[in-house]
Amino acid sequence: SFNIFTGIKLENISVANRAGYAKEPFISADAFTLHYAFWPLFQRQIIIQEISLEKPVVLIEKRAGEFNFSDLTQKKAATSPATKPAANSNFGFSLIVDSFTLHDGEIIYRDQTTNTHSEIKEINASLRGLTLALFKPLDFSLSAIANYQGKDIPLSLAGSIALNLSDETINLPALTLGIAGEKATIAATITQLRSGPAIDCSLSSSQLNIDPLVAIFAAGAPAQKAKKTDLNQTINQVTA
């Protein structure tokens, strides 16, 4: 559906999977919505107020050492010399995007060689304030449930990002990270965006229980092969 004054909406989107892989779509979504401001178009400004995705699903498969998207990333031989754009090809439009939202997304990963299956489901994401990102921090939030070896692991990340393109820096003053019910705060500064980047990061938590996190990575091991290992050794293996 299309309304010239407000925007466009696409429903029941589907991109077929690569031949030889599952019959399920490679990418699908219930709806894609784009809202824009109409009158600024006459001033050569494309102001997109919101882009939203409803229930997008991405299927990633690995079979015989290749992914179902490998053919998309392979370089193709040029059939004709590239044509240079004309000097007057600039239409002079400026593009501004204010917010992006994603609701109830899912990423599915299947490895046919090892017969393993993992997924990240119930993905909800919000990124707001892009229009004013140069003047004030932009807010974002992300939540999802990762299914690893049959266990559901709640994940969340929320906070703000301050951009300073003239100084080539990105500041993340206080990100709240949640994994399996454990909470931590991340503060980071990214500098030298063009030549680096250089990242200065700190992680802190007022009360952190390591047992649930270690249990996640220890899950799924056959009982007869399970061995009692030192906690430090387990953490080293996990972080490696």
Pairing status of strand 27-36 against strand 57-63? antiparallel
User: What pLDDT does 167 receive?
Assistant: 80
The per-residue pLDDT for range 154-176, each reduced to its tens digit, is 999 999 888 777 788 888 888 89
User: What pLDDT does 232 receive?
Assistant: 67
Phi, psi angle pair for 216, to nearest 5°: -60, -45
User: What pLDDT does 225 receive?
Assistant: 47
Question: Which residues of the chain register pLDDT less than 50?
Answer: 221-226
User: Which pTM does this prediction carry?
Assistant: 0.71
User: What pLDDT does 206 receive?
Assistant: 79
Helix (H) or strand (E) holding 127: strand 116-128
The per-residue pLDDT for range 20-39, each reduced to its tens digit, is 888 999 999 999 999 998 88
For residue 68, the tally of other CB atoms under 10 A from its CB is: 19
